[in-house]
Amino acid sequence: MTGRVVVVGSLNMDLVMRAKRLPAPGETVLGAGDLQRFPGGKGANQAFAAASLGARVHMVGRVGNDEFADPVIASLAEVGVDTSRVIRDERAATGLGLIVVDERGQNAIVVASGANATVTVDDVTAAQAAIADSEILLLQLEIPLPAVLAAAKLARLHGVTTVLNPAPAQPLPAELLACIDVLIPNENEASVLSDVGADSDMDIARVAERLRATGVATIIVTRGSRGCSRIERDALTHHPTFAVQAVDTTAAGDAFVGGFAATLAAGAPIDTALVQANAAGALACTRLGAQSSLPDRVALDRLLDSSP
C-alpha cells in the first residue's frame, strides 16, 4: 500500500561549509573545502524523505522568485513530490539555511526564513482537498503558527492523522496540541515543551509525565544515537537506532520524521514505523547535506536486512 502524505512547511536552500570544529562565540575558524549548496528546509526535507520511501506526497509552502527557487522545487519533483501548491512569492526571497559541519558530523544552523514567513492561512485553505485526501498531515514550525494551526484544524475536521515535529523549539498553544495525534520532538524540543531537562532516561520519564498532560495521544522523543523514546498512554518504551559512521547529522531528524510518516501512512503499525524511522535517521547521518543524504527504499531495506 502506498500512503498519502501532505506536508505543510518550509522550503530552503542550505549553504553548507565543513570545518574542523564549530566556532565558539566571537571566533573565526577556517573552512575545510568549498561552500556547497543543498536544497533543504524542514518541510521540504520531510516531504523528500517520505516520497523517497514510497509515499505519495504533496508539498504546501512558499519560495521566492530568485535563483534558489527552481533547484529547491526541482529537488522535490525529482522524487515525485507534487509541488503544485508551492507558491512563488514575488516579494520575499527563498529561505536560506547557513550550516557549519564539524569533523564529527555535528552541525550548527542559522535559518533566514524568507518566503517561509509569508505562508498564510489562505495558502493552507487552498490545499484543503489534498489534506482531506491524505492519511497523514505532517507539520513543523518553520512557517507562521496560524498556518500550522489552520492545517491541523483541517486535518482534524477530515479525520486525518496529524504528525507535528515541533521545530524550532517553542512553547505551543493548547489549541494546536489538541489537534495533534503524534508529536515528535528531539530532546531539546521536548525540554522546551515540558520545561524539564531531557538528557537521561530518568529525565525522559519526567518529560513523559509532563507531555502526557497536553492530551497528545503519542509522543516520540528522538535522542540521536540513543534512538527514540515513545510515550503512549501510561507506557514509556525505548527504541534503539542503528549503528553507523556519522559524517553529517543534518536532516537526520527530518529523515526520521519523514520515514515515520511514510510508513504509518502505508498502514503499518507504529512499532514498524519507528524501526523504519530509526533506520532512515541513521542512514541520513552517513552522507553530507540535507536532501542529498536522505535514503531511498533500496538503501533502507538493505540496512534493515543486514541488521540482527
Average pLDDT over the chain, rounded to whole? 93
Q: Is 109 part of any domain?
A: no
Poorest-pLDDT segment among 192-201, 209-218, 268-277: 192-201
Output the CA–CA distances (angstroms, integers) from residue 21 to 102, 108, 181, in the order listed: 5, 10, 39
Poorest-pLDDT segment among 28-42, 146-160, 263-277: 28-42
Q: Is 35 part of any domain?
A: no
Q: Is 187 part of any domain?
A: yes
- Per DSSP, the residues of 247-308 read S--TTHHHHHHHHHHHHHHTT--HHHHHHHHHHHHHHHTTSSSSGGG---HHHHHHHHHH--
The mean pLDDT value for 11-37 works out to: 92
Per-residue pLDDT band for 265 (boundaries 50, 70, 90) equals: very high
Q: Identify the domain containing residue 247 by its residue range.
A: 4-9+41-90+120-306
Residue 232 has pLDDT above 60, yes or no: yes
Q: Is 26 part of any domain?
A: no
Q: Is 36 part of any domain?
A: no
Radius of gyration in angstroms for the set of CA atoms belonging to the chain, rounded to a whole number: 18
- Higher pLDDT, residue 56 or 293: 56
Q: Is 282 part of any domain?
A: yes
- For the entire predicted model, the pTM comes to 0.92
Counting residues of the chain whose pLDDT is more than 70, the rounded percentage is 99
* Residue 1: predicted pLDDT: 55
Question: In terms of Cα–Cα distance, which of 61, 55, 99, 97 is closest to 266?
Answer: 55
Number of domains the chain contains: 1
- Catalytic one of 254, 271, 296, 301: 254
Residue 285: give its domain's CATH number: 3.40.1190.20
Fill in the amino acid letter for 38: F
Question: In terms of Cα–Cα distance, which of 128, 138, 213, 223 is closest to 181?
Answer: 138
Note the pLDDT tens digit of each residue in 94-120.
Answer: 999 898 989 887 888 888 999 999 999
Counting residues of the chain whose pLDDT is more than 90, the rounded percentage is 74
Q: Is 254 a catalytic residue?
A: yes
The mean pLDDT value for 24-47 works out to: 92
Distance CA 14, CA 11 (A): 10
* Residue 207: predicted pLDDT: 82
Q: Is 129 part of any domain?
A: yes
* Residue 224: predicted pLDDT: 87
* Residue 308: predicted pLDDT: 67
Residue written as grid cell 483541517: 154
Poorest-pLDDT segment among 41-50, 59-68, 103-112, 194-203: 194-203
